Structure formats: structure tokens, C-alpha cells
Structure 1
Amino acid sequence: MARPGPRSLPRTVEAQFWDLIRTGLTVEEAAEVLGVSVSILRRWFRHRGGVKPPIGYGHPTRFLTIDDREDIAVYRGQGLGVRAIAERLNRSPSTISRELRRAARAPEHVRPSRPAYRPRIAQEDADAKRHRHRDRKLTTNLALRREVQARLALNHSPEQIASRLRVDYPDDPEMWVSHETIYQSLYVQGRGGLKRELVKHLRTGRSLRKPRRTSQERRGRIPNMVNIADRPKAVEDRAVPGDWEGDLILGTVESGSAIGTLVERATGFSMLLHLPESHTANAVAEAMIAKMAQLPAELKRSLTWDQGSEMSEHVRIAEATGFDIYFCDPHAPWQRGTNENTNGLYRQYFPKSTDLSQWGSGYLDMVAAELNARPRKRLGWKTPAEALAKLLNEHDDSTGVATIA
């Protein structure tokens, strides 16, 4: 006849044991306090690898483990609430709450003689769900896939598409998708996914995802320039429109071509300067004066540029346009962060090492209009054109965005 095993101790005793270990007591001292056999406590100690992480210690795994679930059962049996359990396990309260709700939805696994939460059953259920195959949403939802493909064809980024879909379909979660799902559907091909050729509409156009590299900026010393340190602090707030940042996108060395980029800080609204033959100081000044003449007076406050020699005629530009012009510190592109990001967007249309003189001024205006029609995250997924129109209306401007080419 088999020898009966030792009577199992209540889970509350195990919880008290680990609380004593956290205070610095040894296994032997904890056994004396609890009045429990040292051999049992040593077995618990070895089962956990000899160490019980203290409260607040960073958890090494993303998912709940069987030990976590056993602790939840212990603390739940002690009557602790969700937040108290979460604090002891260094987990989010929402994680504990979801775990308990999932267990409550499985009455077939519950015996009347046992607590509703059973860690072993919960672990088996979690393992089964983690390894099950699920079709991607863009594979099964044809209407959503067509909508995403249409917006990709308009050169909207996956993040812009994902967020704008929530704006356009607020009551239809089936038309929502995360930007990561869009990327995965493009890069990890499968039946019914997005068409692979749509990657050319991504900002980089790459077939693989790679980190973006920082380009070397052109620098020079400008006479009579005013440093960005003297720029009014109100410019940083972006509360009032009319503060701009600018730079050049260069073409091939042989062509000498370039495109000037201007972006309004508050709204991200941008314009392009046509520089097909050269980007000398005189050429830049003439193009900038002509383009800025199209702006209403409310949008002529300040312009921030880097220390490139193309801005040597800044005094002439300031006198003709009414702008206050400021220059960034050397090797500090983050001082024109809005313009740097916008240049990255324009490189999708004007790749590096290409002759930029092949595009006329009309095409540049069309590209700028398309970019100004893209929803932006920092604008609450409004477009720059919509945001600028709103600000102009708030300042009682009757010309609207239509006056800006």
C-alpha cells in the first residue's frame, strides 16, 4: 500500500514565507517563525531558483508565468485586491484584472470545492491561445485591405493610415488596423495580404526596414546673421502661425540643381522653391522673395535657417518680405526639427543623387499640395492645410489657404 504524502500547507503559509524572505530572514528562521518543517520551505526555495524577487523588482518576462499565476491564487485567497497583487508581482493592475476576468469566463474548469481562479488551468489556456494561428486582419477583411491600399497609393504612411481610419470610421472597429499590421503585411508576404509593390509608396521605398541615417549638413559663416538664441521665445510655442523653417534639398553635383523647402512650424504646412540651375545666394533670394509674396501678412513672422552660404542674402530677403531671419548653431539640425522631418518626407518624391532640374515649378507645387493633404499625428490627424485654414480663420483672415501656392 502506498505511503500517504505529507499534508499540503495552505497557500497563505507560502505567501507569508516569501514575505519573511523578503525581509532578510533565512529559510531556517522563517521555518521557526511559521512553525513549518524546514525541508518543505527549502523545497519551495529551490523551486523558485533560490531567490524570490522583492516587490518592485523588474519582471524578466513579458507574459505571466506559472509562478505568477500561483502567486495570484495565493494573494487572491488572502483577500488582496487587484492593485495590491499587481504591486507584489510588479505587474500592471490591468494585467491582473484581465487574468482574473479570463478565469471567471471558464466555469467548466471550476470545481465547487476549489477557488474560481486555478493557476494550472489558466496557464494551460494561455499556452494554447499563444500558439494558435490567427489570420491577419488585412487578409480576411477585403474592404479594409482595399482602403489601406488606396491610401498607400496616395503616399500616406502606415501610421497616418491607421490613425485616420479611426477618425473616418469611429463606429466601425472592423475598419481599424494598427500601423505595425500594415508594415507586416507589406514586408511579410502571404496570401490575401497587401501588394508588395506598394512598398514604393512608403517614405523610404525600401523592401526591408532599416534605420534612417542622418545626412551631413552644409555649413558656412553668414555675415550679419542673428543667432537662434536671440529668437523670441514665443516662436517655440507654435501657438501663432507665421514662423517658418527652411533648408535646401540638393540634386546631383553635375546639375547644380536644388529645391528649397519652407515649412510653417505651427501647422507643418510647407512650400517648395524652384532652383533648377543653381542654389547661389542670389538664386535662393529671388525664389524666396517671389514665393513668400504669396503669403498673407499673418504668416510673415520669422524664418529659421542653417548656416549655409545660400542665405548670404538674408538681409535682402528680410527687407523684401518682412521676415525676421534667424540662424541655427553649427551641427544642430534639431533646432530646425520640423524642417528636417519635412525634408525626409520630400525625399520620397525627390530621391538623393538625382537631377532635380527635371521637375518644373508646377510639379513642385503639386507635390507640396499632396504633402499638405496628408494627415499628421501632432495635429490630431488633421492635415496641414486644414490646420492652417483653421488658424487663419481664428485670426479673421478672409483669404484662407487658397492664396498660398
Structure 2
Amino acid sequence: MSSITYSERIKIETFCELELSNLEMANLLNRSPATISYELSRCHPYQAELAQADTERKRAQCGRKTKLTATLKQLILNHLRLSWPPESIAHEFNLATKSIYNWLNYGQIDFPLSELSEHGLRQRRKSDQRSKYNQSLGSSIEQRPPVINHRNRIGDFEMDTIVGPRGRSKAALLTLVDRKSRFLWAYPLKERSVAAVNGALDNFLATFKGAVHSLTVDRGTEFSGLSSFELQYGVKTYYCHAYSPAERGSNERFNRYLRYFYPKGTYFEHVSAHELTTTLLEINQRPLKVLNWQTPYQVMLTNLSKNSD
């Protein structure tokens, strides 16, 4: 049966003035005596207006109270703008991931779902003509040893390039992701060529504080000159199968993180070294579930410290 209406409350107030019993009121209103008794307990003496106000107050208090304070909302917004996924934000602030998505869906947090760092499915790439060359560059990924496949050590990197607007800019980024720590680094390239890639890789090997054991790359022509690094530095190179970006899954994921800051069409010659470094630090200081909620920076630093002892 529906709740007592305001018009019924006016009648109950009149019945009280006439000193009718609860049973008589119940019969006149076709309600149970228990309902009348509960209604009369709302206020003493009974007044329809006060009883209605009590009903509305209690109804407003029903339901779970939101945790979304103004301060928390701003914290979540700040981290979303730094490209943190909702799952990482939820762990950082002891929230449920679903709660953040609910607040986004209901407009309680003003941030478009389309701008989340991992929103939507990736579109299938058009055939990369570069992969049609270099079918016998060197060691296949099938020959990669278990120590690399199982991510047991620091120093096994996946490497790729990110390009600017095709046909309008030659500048690109060379990206490297450590398989164990997921530590990301990148170098600007004036062009996507063997010489530019080798020059940036020389710089990386000279500045990286730990041993670099291997590189896993695709079959792009810019990676056709890596054999010299095995002779000079002992760095083994493994080439993925053609059209198989999932074989460099970590690199692909972190390239998407970079694309959040530098969308397709970005002219990388206009990105300063300071800006790129700041972006990389923001990405590397984000806690990841796969690292038991440590950051890539923490895992890399811890392992390098152990190796130096």
C-alpha cells in the first residue's frame, strides 16, 4: 500500500481533534491501525504540516551518502588530467573504481569519458609498409630466452617510435620501456632513420645506470642497424613478427600514455626537452596494479640500488 498522503494527514489531524481512536481512523482511511499509530508518532500534538515535513526530511536522508566531497572531486580531476586511469586513482585514494566511473557517468565529476587515457577500443592499424621490408633482420622473438619473457630482470627493453603528422613533419620520438619495471624513457629524433635511432640509443646506453641486456623491436627499417650494439655493448636485439604489436605489449601501452600528452598530429620538433622530461616523470610516478601499486620509478630505483650493492 502507498504511503500516507498529505490530504490524509489533514484528515488525521481533524480526526485527532474529534478524539477518534486509531482503529476508527484506520477504518475511515482504509489503512491498518499500525500505519495510523506510526503516523501519529511523527509529532505531538499531531499536525499535518509538521508530519509532512518529517516525512520529507526522512526521505531525503534515505540512501547511501556520497563520499564525493569538493576536495576529493578536485583531487580526482587533477589526476585524471595527468592521464591517471580511474583504477589507479581508486587505489590511491582508497575508493572503488566503479564509484569514480559512476561519478563520471552522472556528471558529478566534470571530465569527459572520451578523454580518459584508456577510453575505447583501439582501431585496427592500416598495414605498415615498413614491415614488408627486413624480413630477415636478425634474431626472432621466438629465440628470446625465458629470463626476458618472464620479466625477471631490469634491462630488457621494448623499443618503438612515435611519429608526428605524416607528410608534414619528420620529427619523431624513440620510446623505450623496461619490461620488468615498466619504466619509460624517450628521445626526440629529427627523423625516423637508422642514423637517428642509433644516435639516440648511443645516448641512452651512455646515460642509463644499469646494464641493458636486450631490445625487442618491430621490423621497421629504422631498426635495421642495431647489430652493432650487440658487438659494442653486448645488447641482443629480438625482432617481433610482422604486424604483431602485442609482442611489444608494454611499449604499445606506454606509447598510448604518451599519446595522451602528445596526440596524433603533434609536431615533435616543437616539444622541448624539459617538457618531454616532465611528461615522462609524470608517467613513471604513476602507481600500477601490475607492479603491486608501486610506480615504475620506484621499481627501477630499487632494482638499480640492489645491483649497485
Alignment TM-score, normalising by the size of structure 1: 0.56
Is residue 347 from structure 1 mapped to residue 275 from structure 2 by the alignment? Answer: no
Q: Which amino acid aligns with 2:240?
A: C
Match of 1:183 among 90, 97, 101: 101
Is residue 283 from structure 1 mapped to residue 193 from structure 2 by the alignment? Answer: no
Distance in 1, Cα, partners of 2:275 & 2:204: 15
Q: What is the aligned partner in structure 1 of residue 16 from structure 2?
A: none
Q: What is the aligned partner in structure 2 of residue 137 from structure 1?
A: 66
Q: What is the aligned partner in structure 2 of residue 366 from structure 1?
A: 278
Q: What is the aligned partner in structure 2 of residue 196 from structure 1?
A: 111
Matched-pair contact (CA < 8 Å) for 1:155–1:202:
yes
Matched-pair contact (CA < 8 Å) for 1:242–1:264:
yes
CA-to-aligned-CA distance 1:355-394 (integer Å, 9 cap, x gap): 2221123322221111100111100111000011111222
Matched-pair contact (CA < 8 Å) for 2:138–2:239:
yes
Distance in 2, Cα, partners of 1:335 & 1:280: 22
Match of 2:91 among 163, 171, 175: 163
Tell me the matched-pair count: 245
CA 361–150 in structure 1, closer or farther in 2 if over 3 Å, else same: closer
Matched-pair contact (CA < 8 Å) for 2:134–2:219:
yes
Distance in 1, Cα, partners of 2:114 & 2:261: 11
CA 229–196 in structure 1, closer or farther in 2 if over 3 Å, else same: closer
CA 335–188 in structure 1, closer or farther in 2 if over 3 Å, else same: same
- The alpha carbon displacement at 1:329 in A equals 1.0
Match of 2:288 among 376, 381, 386: 376
1:30-179 matches, within 5 Å, as 134=63, 137-139=66-68, 141-166=69-94, 177-179=95-97
Where do 5+ consecutive residues of structure 2 fail to align? Answer: 1-60
1:5-44 matches, within 5 Å, as none
What is the aligned-residue identity percentage?
27
Q: What is the aligned partner in structure 2 of residue 99 from structure 1?
A: none
CA-to-aligned-CA distance 1:289-333 (integer Å, 9 cap, x gap): 11221112x431111000000011112333444311110111221
SS in 2 for 1:325: strand
Match of 2:239 among 324, 327, 332: 327
Q: What is the aligned partner in structure 2 of residue 85 from structure 1?
A: none
Distance in 1, Cα, partners of 2:87 & 2:207: 32
1:226-237 matches, within 5 Å, as 226-237=139-150
Q: What is the aligned partner in structure 2 of residue 386 from structure 1?
A: 298
CA 320–183 in structure 1, closer or farther in 2 if over 3 Å, else same: farther
Matched-pair contact (CA < 8 Å) for 1:289–1:321:
no
Match of 2:269 among 347, 357, 363: 357
CA 146–361 in structure 1, closer or farther in 2 if over 3 Å, else same: closer
Matched-pair contact (CA < 8 Å) for 2:83–2:257:
no
Matched-pair contact (CA < 8 Å) for 1:246–1:304:
yes
Q: Which amino acid aligns with 2:79?
A: R
Structure 1 runs, 4 residues or longer, greater than 6 Å off? none
Distance in 2, Cα, partners of 1:336 & 1:263: 9
Distance in 2, Cα, partners of 1:244 & 1:136: 47
Is residue 213 from structure 1 mapped to residue 116 from structure 2 by the alignment? Answer: no
Give the structure, 1 or 2, with the largest relative contact order (CA under 8 Å, sep 6 or more). Answer: 2
Q: Which amino acid aligns with 2:202?
A: I
Distance in 2, Cα, partners of 1:136 & 1:347: 37
Distance in 2, Cα, partners of 1:288 & 1:255: 21
Matched-pair contact (CA < 8 Å) for 1:222–1:312:
no
